[in-house]
Structure 1
Amino acid sequence: MLQTKTIKLQSGKRIQGMLQVENHDLELPFCAVCGSKEGPVVLITAGIHGAEYIGIQTARELSTELDPLKINGTIVFLLVANPQAAFSYTRLFVPEDGKNLNRAFPGKKDGSLSEKIAYTIEHELHSQADYYIDLHAGDIHEQVMPFVYYPGIAREEVIEKSRIMAEATGMEIRVKSSATTGSYNYAAIQGVPSILMERGGGGSFTNQQLISYKQDVLNVLSVLGVVSKDRREEKDSIQNEVINAVYTDSLAEGFWRPLKQPGERILKGDLLGIVEDVWGNPLQRCHAEFDGIVLYETTAMGVMEGDSLIAYGEYRQLS
């Protein structure tokens, strides 16, 4: 049974509490749904990017809707990992230090606040989890198509278990990541099968998007044996896997004009968007390097040099 420094979880109970950040006065809200039967510990985090609100709402609702008496194992929801960003509508960063929390893993107990939060998540939660689901979305300046990342740098058995989790979501696209610094990537390196899910964006969401996101999570929990299989809806399509991805950043300060939409199929050579100066002169034209699908894009008009513009992937259909 998972235990924090201050709270011992109890079988058959739902426990709400605050997780103290190491060497800081910040506390992070969590809810643990402790099943009445033995099973794995599943960690679900939301709000690592605080303005990705659909992930936070998905975690908030599932944490109250799941019945501990019908759960096998324990589900620990870290409801808001970056609370000040959530309350201040701040994109990407922890407001107190201006760092991207999802680039702070592994953390530092004596570092900046982002590093302290990462250290706390790693040592208090990653270390006790058997599986991990990280809920993201397009941020306030982005839109994404529904898709799921799974780690590509970890022990082979961890990668395979993560792939099974990714497939279980029922999302159309999955992407094998080569990153190492994200929360789920680092957890996988430490031996915890993990995925990162994406859906929506723009700092808002529809009720149908929320329903779909909750079902994505339940599908994974079903495969892990944590919830009853009758909660899982049948998938109506074969999942595709991205085998090559391009993440295009802005080469200059200017105004971004996207010409495609997340989820749209593209052909090699297609013009995906243009960065222009204030007079409309093109500073950067983004062309597709291969046939594929748009995963996400910036919807903000004004961009700085180095800002993300668009991501797309070449994919294969899986049998």
Structure 2
Amino acid sequence: MNRIKAGVPRRAGRRVLALGLPTVWGAIAITYKMVCPLAQQNGWEARIVTSAVFFAVGTGLIFHVRQALLRELRQVRRVAGAAQSVLLRPLPPRIDGLHVAAAQLSADRGAVIGGDLYEVIATEHGVRAVMGDVRGHGLAAIGTVAAVLGSFREAVHDEPDLGGVLRRLDRALARHLRERAGSVPDSPIGEEFITVLLLEIDPDGEVHALNCGHPWPYRISGTHVEPLARADPLPPLGLFPLPPDLPAVRCGQLLPEDVLFLYTDGAEDARDAHGRFFPLATVLTEAVCNGVTNPQSILGAVFTQLLRHTGGRTVDDVALLVLRNDRTHVHCSLPSGARGTARPAPTYRQPTNNLQ
């Protein structure tokens, strides 16, 4: 309460200052023109002095307006940064034995966040990750990002399978669009959709996925780069109802030191001045062949080449998420007297040093 009360007079003082300084400068210019005898003369000296006075007043006004606009811009960026920390909260560097790195680039120069989303959460069902891309970009897509991410963060702990998580996301998106249509009557909710990729990485490294219109991530094993799967994805959420059965796609095992590179289509769809698409797979292959295996270094290499390819400007939001399996498998033997074919669950220990 004290902060609120203290902030009110501070903002009021800024408003008085913002209005007072231009008024004072304008009064000085008018007083000079009406009272000063030199301003009434037509000689060259008088004209030069008059021009200098009005030039100084005009320069002061322009400088004052510029400073006010810069203050407003800094405030907007602080608010956008706070919103980003809530929506796309920073991911920890390690989640249940996985080395994690993520970054996002908004296509709107004035926006810090856009229409892409990602999250990685360790649950009792395994490590679950989401990567999504809302139709459109920039500030207009933030509401949809918030609705989908909020639903994901709850559903991953409640739902035993990825199909249940996806249905929860679908219901959250439909609910958000209905609420937005009620508050904005002309909102074209029939044209809204979001591509979603759900991943589940079991303790033994087995990967399962559900894909709704999103690009398949790349699996990096050594210097080999290939798509994680080649199955046809489901339609994006929001366009059609989900099918009754949602079996997850089995994508094989993520071995120690293997990397998953998730991205939104703004990366591969980025074009250079000649209209050529960004060669993401080639850039990844060149990076790992040059010994770049650290997730942060992979992000840096891709973003550097992407900005160089586009000349520093992208026309769509871009989000990248890198997951590297840093688990070291410890083989467990069956205890004496064990019966049947069941095996004890594999355990893992963290490596003593970071892989580079």
Q: Same fold (TM over 0.5)?
A: no
Write 1 or 2 for the structure with the bigger share of strand: 1
Structure 1 length as normaliser, TM-score?
0.33
Structure number with greater Rg is: 2
Write 1 or 2 for the structure with the bigger share of helix: 2
Structure 2 length as normaliser, TM-score?
0.30
